Amino acid sequence: MPEELLARVKELRHLLHKWNHEYHVLDQPSVSDAEYDKALNELVRLEEENPSLQSEDSPSQRVGGAPLSVFEKVEHTTPMLSLGNAFNEEDLRDFDRRVRQGVGNEVSYVAELKIDGLAVSLRYEDGLFIQGATRGDGSVGEDITQNLKTIRSIPLRLSKPVSIEVRGEAFMPKKSFISLNEQKEELGEEPFANPRNAAAGSLRQLDPKLAAKRNLDIYVYGIGNPATTGVNSHSGGLDLLDELGFKTNNERKKCSNIDEVIEFTSSWVEKRPALPYEIDGIVIKVDSFEQQDELGFTAKSPRWAIAYKFPAEEVVTRLVDIELNVGRTGVITPTAILEPVRVAGTVVKRASLHNEDLIREKDIKLGDYVIVKKAGDIIPEVVHVLLEKRTGEEKDFLMPTHCPECNSELVRLDEEVALRCINPECPAQIREGLIHFVSRNAMNIDGLGERVIAQLFQEKLISNVADLYRLQKDQLVAMERMGEKSATNLIEAITTSKKNSLEKLLFGLGIRHVGAKAAKTLAQHFETMEKLQSATIDDLVAINEIGEKMAEAVVTYFHKPEVVHLIDELKALGVNTDYTGPKLVNVEDIDSFFAGKTIVLTGKLEILTRNEAKEKIELLGGKVAGSVSKNTDLLIAGEAAGSKLDQAKKHGVEVWNEERLVLELNK
């Protein structure tokens, strides 16, 4: 290969990287778009002519490579959690109180904009961008590396050869959203409801060339594995991210108390509309990583951060009708049909009214003018009726006496507000049960949405969950709006779901009172479907988290002959019925000092990180709690331990230093 060619390719890459960073990250372009495009085209051409020169971090990757047939699943090394919400000043002050109770009064916060896009994780090895993924269910997302490479503000190579996982929000700027929708409307296509959906839709395109056209952008806001970076605060982390070449959002403020945080949040209520991208709130994070560690996490979110959500927008519209829906469990839910109205970024046409009592309480009549908002900025809700706008033409709404789908008589079970259809053959219940079975927390079958299930059910291709595993590709291809490719993908997704661990199947079956968490507990304890099927009420209530009501529901369910038959069918079709997650160990079987004890960690640990200490203690059967109480067995006091040490002394709790802990852990 001629030397000059290699040199030219290197030069072009260097220039394009530099121009890209100047334009998309620093917002300080030094060349015209035309000059950039000319260099990029030359590079693409040279790489095409000399395939051996192609490289993962070449700026040519930005134009998007070959289309994929399916996104691979990616397991996140640390879960991508969401945040708890604050809706007003009081919620923020409560958050601050909880934080200070946990770590003392010396706290500073970083307040930053909550970008309204979709969360992504970006992995770099030795400075090279190797994988980007969606959040998915928090534990498993989808590999969208090729699409993310088209976002010019995502560096393909960092300024230092570090291995790091960063998290950020990919989004579509308002301007790009408006012009994309204009284009879509011209083509007679359905426009996107809001920039968030547009960004998500673009990143879920299988063809990266399409994603490349969508003008997406990103702000990164955190590090997945901060312990490995040597920085000790969130603000330090953001500075490091800047230094490595990432785009962080500059509208952030370090606040030394909650008053400053509140001032920051209220200032953005007014400034928000002028931003070139959408935000849905302000994120507040405890700055010190040590304090973050000390505060830890709840099951869903960190205790060291919170999302302040802007007050919900309220609009007026007319309620034209009330529709009735039959759910998976037979509950009849009335839904308001509204004159379409734009609220908080989307057009709202329907809002759940939950039950008859609520309709009476709010005195809702057909034809009323109503105030509508989105609860938590997501779920449309009728706030109240505008009584002053009544004309006398409005009509009372009466709940039906018979199921709108199967016409059997509706009943109100003891003390329930809901009306139910109790016909087990009701088609609506079966259809909704199938939709639940394939949903994310259940069997998680991609490509099988409500529409496809409803269609398959209507065409009698499926009538129970086992039928899903009998579907053949040609049956799918014959369906309306289903291409060859989607059919192949769907069959593949269905087949993949056969391998799911038992808890997903259990949750999917829709046993009364068994939510996703209880399904996991059951799967962990019984490990196989057979053992669970033969469990008695006593066996079940012996488990801490399982109450009488759930135990009864589980036993009743597994004794139904049709359920026994269904499970046999699923097994015969190759569906896994074993638990394949991490093993649960019985505390009594663990021969360790820590087994069954409640331990609190405080102060700065030097040998272990707080998470490591927690994991090791838990592996040995101990429980790590956040605060000292009379139930605490042991306090581990690191450097500069504060109020927790005082409390431990007050309660007469045994106190160890870190060395003693490490010695005992290694025994």
Structure-token pair, residue 37: 């495009």
CB-nearer residue toward ligand IVH: 201 or 327: 201
Rounded least distance, CB 96 to ligand IVH, Å: 17
CB-nearer residue toward ligand IVH: 76 or 597: 76
Structure-token pair, residue 92: 């923020």
Binding residues for NAD(+): 33-37, 82-83, 112, 135, 169, 285, 309
Rounded least distance, CB 131 to ligand IVH, Å: 18
Task: Look at the block and give the residue holding tokens 């040279």.
Answer: 46
Rounded least distance, CB 308 to ligand IVH, Å: 11
Task: Look at the block and give the residue holding tokens 């709690």.
Answer: 625
CB-nearer residue toward ligand IVH: 81 or 322: 81
CA angle 154, 290, 268 (to 5 degrees): 55
Q: Which of 84, 85, 83, 82 is nearest to 309 (CA)?
A: 85
Phi, psi of 131 (to 5 degrees): -160, 135
CB-nearer residue toward ligand IVH: 300 or 651: 300
CA 648 to chain centre: 38
CB-nearer residue toward ligand IVH: 169 or 432: 169
Instruction: Check if the beta carbon of residue 400 is closer than 8 Å to that of residue 410.
Output: yes
Task: Look at the block and give the residue holding tokens 């779901």.
Answer: 497
CB-nearer residue toward ligand IVH: 83 or 628: 83
Helix, strand, coil share (%) of the chain residues, nearest 5? 40, 20, 40
Q: How far apart are CA 471 and CA 513, in angstroms?
A: 30
Tell me which residues touch ligand IVH (CB under 6 A): 81-83, 112, 114-115, 119, 169, 221-222, 283, 302, 305, 307
Closest residue to ligand IVH, based on beta-carbon distance: 119
Q: How far apart are CA 265 and CA 421, in angstroms?
A: 47
Binding residues for Zn(2+): 403, 406, 421, 426
Q: Which DSSP state fits 228? A: G
Rounded least distance, CB 85 to ligand IVH, Å: 8
427-438 helix and 450-458 helix, angle to the nearest 10 degrees: 140
**Catalytic-role residue among 10, 38, 114, 395:** 114
174-186 helix and 195-203 helix, angle to the nearest 10 degrees: 80
CB-nearer residue toward ligand IVH: 283 or 331: 283
Q: How far apart are CA 606 and CA 586, in angstroms?
A: 30
Q: How far apart are CA 645 and CA 333, in angstroms?
A: 53
Q: Which of 503, 597, 579, 587 is nearest to 543 (CA)?
A: 587
Binding residues: 33-37, 82-83, 112, 135, 169, 285, 309, 403, 406, 421, 426
Active site residue 149: no
- Compute how many other C-beta atoms are within 10 angstroms of the C-beta atom of residue 654: 12
Please state the length of the chain: 667
Q: Which of 211, 94, 221 is nearest to 150 (CA)?
A: 211
Rounded least distance, CB 222 to ligand IVH, Å: 6
Which active-site residues does the annotation give?
114
